[in-house]
Structure 1
Amino acid sequence: MKAMMISALAGAVLASTAAQAQLKPEEQVEIRQAGYQFMAWNMGKIKAQVIDGKEPYDQAKVAAAANAIAAIANSGMGALYSPDTTSAQLGKQTRLKPEFFDNLEEAGRIGGEFVKHANQLASVAAGNDQAAIKKAFGDVGGSCKSCHDKFRAD
């Protein structure tokens, strides 16, 4: 089992390295920012319906938004992070702190929590329990905030 996990991790690292080699640092930043913007737009749709009540609740629309968030969270965006894509190298083009790469274990843990919470949001949004959706929405937002607080420059 341990050998299988090490093999899977090695494969992920190699795939990540190959993806990085195919994109310029500026392209990596542009693509990951687009992914996060799309997730934020979908979070806004859920917030308007479930949290703020500014729009009528539509379970199908909430589920579609949650599925979009989960799909991007599971898309392998980690391949879009390289030491060449921090604010130290690219200035204001990105807000990724260089410290991210000094704390890869913590960054991976936070990223894993984000994926877990995004998947949970998609799962509960498939149902009609608005209280469960609200909690899962908060968990996703909390995981976003924990990364921003640690690794995102102002």
Structure 2
Amino acid sequence: MKNVLVVLGLSASLCLVGCGGSEESETAVADEPAAAPAAEPETASEETGTSEFAAVIEARQQNYKTIGGNFKTISDNLRADEADIEAVQAAAAKVAELSLEVPSWFPEGSGPEAGVETEALPAIWEKPAEFTAAVERFQTTAAALNEAAETSDMAAVGAAFRPVGGSCGGCHDEFRLDDD
């Protein structure tokens, strides 16, 4: 059982890196509301050199940090001697909820061309069908994780956790700038 938990912990660490979270970060958790996407602006401001998309990009980044924080909560509980199932359930529910919002976080023009630091690659808008498929994989695996958490069975949570991380990594491979 300990070997399974170690493997799950390592997988979770990789997921956190992919979602922008880290083991040491104090990231938002389940109770924090998702940042609402700003209205879709039309153009970037040439006078200031900043983008009207700054709020959209900032909200997107905060939402991913919230997902990462909730992944950390689940990961920590998978490794704990005694899991806080209520915390796991709240975290899994928040991940599932936010997964449904992901498509609205990427309005046209909120990529690198916005002039605001973002790790979102142009491929998101150049390959919309592929991006949509990647988001749908995340939504499906996040829903399965939430269903597993609702059973209060930590073994089921552990089994459902890894595929969510895989869906995150699959999307990041093609649609997110590699920080390395």
TM-score (norm 2): 0.67
Unaligned ranges ≥5, structure 1:
1-17
The amino acid of 1:36's aligned partner reads Y
1:67-146 equivalences in 2 (<5 Å): 67-74=93-100, 76-90=101-115, 93-146=117-170
1:45 aligns with 2:88: no
Q: Distance in 1 between matches of 2:60 and 2:156?
A: 28
Q: Distance in 2 between matches of 1:137 and 1:119?
A: 11
- 4+ runs of 1 displaced by more than 3 Å? 21-24
Q: Distance in 1 between matches of 2:84 and 2:147?
A: 16
User: Which deviates the most, 81-90 or 121-130?
Assistant: 81-90
Q: Structure 1 or 2: larger helix share?
A: 1
RMSD after superposition: 2.1
Q: Distance in 1 between matches of 2:163 and 2:103?
A: 20
Question: Any idea what the Cα deviations from partners look like across 1:42-78, whole Å, max 9, x if unmatched?
Answer: 100100111x33x63011111011011111112x331
Unaligned ranges ≥5, structure 2:
1-37, 43-50
Given candidates 53, 63, 83, the residue that maps to 1:35 is 63
Indicate conservation of the 8 Å contact 2:120/2:176, yes or no. Answer: yes
Aligned counterpart, 1:64: 90
TM-score (norm 1): 0.78
- CA apart distance, 1:28: 1.0
The amino acid of 2:138's aligned partner reads F
The amino acid of 1:118's aligned partner reads A
The sequence identity of aligned pairs, in percent, is 28
The amino acid of 2:105's aligned partner reads L
Aligned counterpart, 2:174: 150
Question: Any idea what the Cα deviations from partners look like across 1:95-125, whole Å, max 9, x if unmatched?
Answer: 0111221111010001011111111111110
